[in-house]
Chain A
Amino acid sequence: MTAVKSMLKHVRDYNNLKPQMLELLSDADLAHTFSGSPSLGELCKEMGETEQSYLNSFKTTKLDFKYRNPDAALATSVSALAAWYAALDNEMDEVLAKFTEDDLQTTGNFRGNWEVTMQVNLEIYLQAVLIFCGKAWVHLHALGKQMPEQWADWIG
């Protein structure tokens, strides 16, 4: 398998964790909060904004985290989050499917004044998905949810 195809499969596998989580949730669950932390819904909205930031970086080779989705209702609606994530994941798939092996080695200003290759930038995006899942895991357990198989295997 080429490095691009392998990376594309990894991204799909990691992104699949998000809809699996949303299938467990009701709108009311998104309000679940631990003191000192954002609500589960706010965490989900933040993950979408993070994904949009990385998606932009895959196109422009520049990464910043300034993007905010203006739709505040996203943090309170499972269906809105699911639709948004699906659109982001599909676009990410399309963008990455066009990458060549050389594209993965392109260096860009992905981290402010820290230049890394596109491949490393992608790997850090996957870490962002895991950071989101690790935080969400605590909320899901507190809500008494049964973990899907991939969550149990990957997140614990």
Chain B
Amino acid sequence: MPNSLIADKFPIFEIYQSMRPLLFSVIEDGDLAYAPANCPSLGELAVQIGEWQQSYVDSFKTFKQDFEYRNPDPELRTSKAKLLAWYAKMDAELKKTIEGLSEEQIRNQKVDKGGWEASLTWNLEIYKECLIIFYSKAWVYLKQMGKELPPYIVTWIS
């Protein structure tokens, strides 16, 4: 029987998570080099959300969070295929980790975020917000590149 976080929150969370490969459906490798003035490239933004995701995956295992993790593969920021494979691996790891949580942990365990704490449920919500922020930044980049965005992205982010 799935725990309450998987049963109650994860289905909606997966809807937000599914927007990432959808966004990438209009991105090619060459697009990842694009950067508005004074901004990171789209590829660098894509690596950053992956590094944030890894920190969240780790937080559900260790119940501590920092954002120090950096992926050492320099090719990620220029390779759509590598990014999508990395994301898919972390998505599976996140779900498996959350599936392994007990109800007692879901009720009482807090994640130490360095100065404040979040319940496990709230921690998942905050990661969902990180995805939303990434989609919003990427929206501006993709519109500037003249990309036609998938209707689902237009509905949620426009």
Contacts and interface: CB of A to CB of B under 8 A. Distances in A.
B29 interface: no
A113 interface: no
A137 B138 CA distance: 11
Contacts of A133: 133, 136
Contacts, number: 66
B125 to A, nearest CB: 8
Contacts of B157: 131
A142 interface: yes
B56 interface: no
Chain B at the A interface: mostly helix, strand, loop or mixed? Answer: helix
Interface residues of B, number: 21
Chain A at the B interface: mostly helix, strand, loop or mixed? Answer: helix
B140 A135 contact: yes
B143 interface: yes
B129 A127 contact: yes
B140 A138 contact: yes
A138 B143 CA distance: 12
Interface of B: 36-39, 48, 125, 129, 132-137, 139-141, 143-146, 157
